[in-house]
Amino acid sequence: MFKTTNQHTKGLLITAFGGMALTIDIPLIKLANGDAWSILFVRSCMTITTGLIMWAIWRFFSENAPRLIPGRTGLIVAGLYGCSSILFILAVFNTTTADLVFILAFNAMFAALLSWVFLRERPRPQTLFAMALMVVGISIIVGSSLGTGNLFGNLIATCAAFVLASAITLSRASRKDMGFAALIGVILPCLVAGFMVSKTGLNIAQPGWIIFNGAVVIPISFFCLANGPKYITAPEVAMFYLLETVLAPVWVWMIFSEAPSRNSLIGGAILILTLICHSLWQLREGRRRGAALAIRHPA
């Protein structure tokens, strides 16, 4: 029981660190001031390079270094992470930061739903109620974008959330170390963006920001978040994307004065409050089950 508890705590700490690092991703993309494909190309190239260097150093000093792609499942997970990167960058350039991160927070409910269908981890009634509230919040955000030019970006963000939840759920099902699979997965967006850039050329006013993002921020966040499902459930991992939901709009508002719309704030508040309440409920239930197990099987 104590080993399981320690593993769970380890997973929570790793995932929380990755989620915190991810909160500065969007501000760094905006600071770089470039077009979508140029940003995606440089970001992906730096992430791949850093990932391979990390893996080579790890493998040099230890025989227990994880595989870059753990089997066929790892290949699928890598592809899903790659697709989510493409969708994410497109959403950054086609909707507001507030709308984007609020909608991406929906991946927690997607993960719970996918876990129910494929892993037979049936959500409790409280989780189903939370899902319903999330749908209301998303509807308010997407509905407010009709006629404003942001509908495409919001739909892309919703697709990104679903693909990301699929990668998390599949990682959870495999129970394998997917940290490097998530990093190697950016080969896909690198190839796609490279093809687009070959036609238009690189267009980044401040490349230092996106180089730092791709070489440091993304490898750390992707590696930590992709490793989370090895220790904790898919919905729990997805919940840590809440950190980006809460903090990314704050950083963007402070740096660029990009204030969210009223409907975005209303929908986002529903999402955040729902997920926070649901997380607190999960934590309480986990402690209650742990206490019950300790009584049944005393040391």
Closest CA to 77 of 168, 173, 189, 193: 168
Closest CA to 187 of 86, 288, 71, 298: 86
Confidence of residue 1 (pLDDT cuts 50, 70, 90): very low
Residue 282: predicted pLDDT? 66
Region 86-90: mean pLDDT is 92
Residue 76: predicted pLDDT? 94
Nearest-angstrom CA–CA distance, 151 and 23: 23
pLDDT tens figures, 160-200: 999 999 998 898 888 787 888 888 899 999 999 999 999 98
Residue 111: predicted pLDDT? 83
Q: Say if residue 2's pLDDT is above 60.
A: no
Region 261-287: mean pLDDT is 75
Confidence of residue 78 (pLDDT cuts 50, 70, 90): very high
Region 259-286: mean pLDDT is 75
Q: Say if residue 203's pLDDT is above 50.
A: yes
Residue 144: predicted pLDDT? 64
pLDDT tens figures, 92-123: 888 877 778 778 877 877 888 888 888 777 76
pTM above 0.85, yes or no: no
Residue 28: predicted pLDDT? 94
Comparison of pLDDT for 234 and 175, the residue scoring more = 175
Residue 187: predicted pLDDT? 93
Nearest-angstrom CA–CA distance, 125 and 100: 28
Nearest-angstrom CA–CA distance, 130 and 235: 12
Query: For all residues of the chain together, what is the average pLDDT?
Result: 82
Residue 81: predicted pLDDT? 93
74: CB partners within 8 A, 6+ apart: 67, 68, 174, 176, 178, 181
Comparison of pLDDT for 74 and 116, the residue scoring more = 74
Of these ranges, 22-26, 129-133, 256-260, the one predicted with the greatest mean pLDDT is 22-26
Region 205-231: mean pLDDT is 90
